[in-house]
Amino acid sequence: MHNIIIKPLFTEKVSGLTADQNKYAFVVDIHANKIEIKRAIQKKFNVTVESVTTATFLGKTKMIMRKAGRFAGKKPDFKKAYIVLKAGDKIDLFEQV
């Protein structure tokens, strides 16, 4: 089985959502579905997940100019999962990471 949870996200937007709506954000495997993400979060952090929202992002294309010519590359695609926890549950990410 593949690793579903890759890393938690620490941004200003996510910290605001955590404080106001008890939402957390994670970068997850691009092939994972909502049910797998929910089970992985519940198992790893021992909390009750109410809902999961996912968003898939395409990697950016980058161009590099060198003496040998122009090279094109692409950053990898990734998926974010926004997790809403049951009232009273909390994830302490700094101890778990």
- Helix (H, G, I), strand (E, B), or coil: what is residue 48? coil
60 and 48 in contact (C-beta within 8 Å)? no
Record the tokens describing residue 6, joined without a space. Answer: 């890759």
The CATH number for 5-89, chosen from 3.40.50.720, 3.40.50.2000, 3.40.50.300, 3.30.70.330, is: 3.30.70.330
What is the residue extent of each domain of the chain? 5-89
For 1, residues 6+ apart whose C-beta sits below 8 A from its C-beta are none
DSSP helix/strand/coil, 41: helix
Residue 93 has a pLDDT of 78
Q: Which residues of 3-36 are buried (b: 16+ CB within 10 A; e: fewer)?
A: ebbeebeeeeebeebbeeebbbbbebbeebeeeb
* Regions of the chain where pLDDT drops below 70: 1-2, 95-97
pTM (2 d.p.): 0.83
**Residue 23, amino acid:** K
- Residue 1: predicted pLDDT: 43
